[in-house]
Structure 1
Amino acid sequence: MTVPVTRRQLVTSASCVVAAAAIGLPVAARADTVDVAELMKPSTLGDIYIGPDTAPVTIVEYASMTCNHCAAFTTQVLPKIKERYIDTGKVRYVLREFPLDPLAAGAFMLARCAGKDKYYAMVDTLFHQFGKWVVQNPIPPLLAIAKQAGFTQQTFEACLQDQKLLDGLDEIRKRGSQQFKVESTPTFFVNGERVVGAVPFEEFAKIIDRHLKA
């Protein structure tokens, strides 16, 4: 059983993350497949997705909020995928939480607490402002971002102390690791095909197009 995210954990975690982000390198892409039916079984918290249920291609991304390559995907690649494939009904996109540290868990908790309608907007804001809150003392900038999404000091702290929510995120992370062998972030599954690492839009488009033609 995990414990609620504390201020000390956030600060300690941030120190390690800042150091790691400075030397982080993209992971080379590799591919294999997993069973789609198993992959799409919902967790206790459930999936939050964008795109239609009827889309012929589903992309599942396992990401960590403190992963700089995940931030790059969300800010640079995902908007292009959304314009070409999601908004045209060809792709459904699912983000699954795979926090690699307490700071990432805390950020995901805030996104979940923002509500389903604001979840992706919160994730997008956090990734766009990655450099502001993945710092030695992340609490003030995280609180400022949360307040923009409608949080108060009290709801901010209550969210980070939500044991049930934290356990739910940990369930998603453990299932991704144990059942689908997710070892790093970002890891994607495109109709079950594993794609690992920082993948440019052009390469991602080729993978999506191949599944659309299948």
Structure 2
Amino acid sequence: MKELTTPIAVLISGVLISLSILFQGQLKLTAPNVKGAKTAVVNDAPQPTGSTAPSPTPLERVSVSADNDPFLGSQNAKVEIIEFSDFQCPYCKRLFDNSYSKLKQEYIDTSKVKLVFRDYPLSFHQNAQIAAESAGCANDQGRFWEYHDLLFTKQDEWSALSNDAVKAKFGTYAANLGMDSFRFNSCVNASTFKQEVDSDLNDGTKVGVSGTPTLFINGKRLVGAQPYETIKAEIEAELSK
């Protein structure tokens, strides 16, 4: 009996092993490749492109008065830019350095843009108020824009001076530009244009100006020393209408 049992046991064991191998092979052939499937889903997912990126938030448009402030360009230009600025503001100087000459050559001198300058002297700039008032005195002699350019170009030269010293410096600038020195200095010392500067400041605050520079391009507010390309794009958008 023992002699029969042993071969049968061996045979049964062999059959079981064969079935096990076959079954495992079937599992390996039919089981899904989970890792491969997951990778395929990720690779097939659509990727965002420039054409589907969200558009920038449109600029707010508000009603802004040009008042009777100095301007460059044609009175009838299709695009009006009203700039609220501070002669002592470093960001205003950056805007002047990077964009003013390009804007003038490309749009102002070609009668496409009218640029209006309004004062917004910030209280923490010690000489901003008197600089704005002195620019009014220069405007009174028909030399506003030459004086405007000089104040920004030489900002580092006068911004930290004492009150008396800055008045003397501004007097020198006026004389160098051919203004009547006595008339200019008397105008500055009498704070002749203080009320006008304060009026600009109040008007700016009413339309949401809280810092400088702030531009209104046909009423669309653009804040900060934006790259020229940004300003140009807004101008072109208005010209195309």
- Where does residue 47 of structure 1 map in the other structure? 69
Instruction: Compute the TM-score of the two structures, normalised by the length of structure 2.
Output: 0.68
Q: Work out whether residues 133 and 194 of structure 2, in 8 Å CA contact, stay in contact via their aligned partners in 1.
A: yes
Written as runs of structure 1 = structure 2, the 5 A alignment for 1:96-107 is: 96-101=118-123, 103-107=127-131
- Tell me what 1:124 maps to: 149
Corresponding letter in the other structure for 1:211: E
Tell me if the contact between 2:127 and 2:160 (Cα under 8 Å) persists in the aligned partners. Answer: no
SS in 2 for 1:188: strand
Deviation at 1:69?
1.0
Q: Deviations over 1:1-52 (max 9, x none)?
A: xxxxxxxxxxxxxxxxxxxxxxxxxxxx9931102xxx1362xxx2210110
Contact 1:47 1:94 in 2 (8 A): yes
Gaps of at least 5 residues in structure 2 are 1-56
Q: Which whole-Å CA distance do the structure 2 matches of 1:70 and 1:76 have between them? A: 10
Match of 2:159 in 1: 134
Within-5 A mapping of 1:7-26: none
Shift of 1:163: 4.3
State the aligned residue count.
178
Task: Please report the TM-score for the alignment, with normalisation by the length of structure 1.
Answer: 0.76
Distance change >3 Å, CA 77–CA 193, structure 1 → 2: same
Q: 82-91 vs 114-123, which deviates more?
A: 114-123
Which amino acid in the other structure matches residue 130 of structure 1? Q
2:222 counterpart SS class:
strand
* Contact residue 30 and residue 196 of structure 1 kept, 8 A: no
Equivalent of 2:110 in 88, 92, 104: 88
Supply the RMSD in Å over aligned alpha carbons.
2.0
Partner of 1:145: 173
Determine the C-alpha separation between the residues in 2 that align with 1:97 and 1:91: 19
Question: Which AA in structure 1 matches 2:159?
Answer: V
Kept in 2, the 8 Å contact 1:30–1:194? The answer is no
Q: Highest Rg: 1 or 2?
A: 2
Q: Which has the higher contact order (CA 8 A, sep 6+)?
A: 1
Q: For 1:112 and 1:70, locate their aligned partners in 2 and report how far apart those are by CA, in whole Å.
A: 18
Moved over 6 A (4+): none
Q: Which residue of 2 aligns with 1:209?
A: 236
What displacement does 1:88 show?
0.9
Change (3 A) 1:148 1:99: same
Q: What's 1:160 paired with?
A: 188
